[in-house]
Amino acid sequence: MALLLEKGKIILGNNQENAAYPSGMCAERVAIWKAHSDFPDVKMVKMALTIKSEKQVIKSPVPPCGACRQSIAEYEVKQKSPIVNLFSNIG
């Protein structure tokens, strides 16, 4: 998952898994919070989400979960501009 900031900086995020499910963290929120922590006054412009599995064929892209959608929406309001979401499956 990659998050493009307004000034061209790219922040990467990945799922942080934990055996005590659901204590892990999705890639989207990892990247958003990293971006806001390191660049609090720079707008988030686009995020590209990909999915891949070594165990099965992924036939369609997977959008963010509800918690990530809420976080994205709140940052859009905070920065007064949308964050474009791009989805892809790798297969």
Retrieve residue 84's tokens. 């474009």
Q: Please tell me the class of the 2-89 domain.
A: alpha beta
The string of pLDDT tens digits covering residues 6-29 is 999 999 999 998 888 778 999 999
Query: Hey, what's the torsion of the CAs at 41, 16, 14, 43, to 10 degrees?
Result: -10
The string of pLDDT tens digits covering residues 16-63 is 988 887 789 999 999 999 999 999 999 999 999 998 888 988 888 889
pTM: 0.88
The amino acid that residue 28 corresponds to is E
Which positions are annotated as active-site residues? 28
Enumerate the domain spans of the chain: 2-89
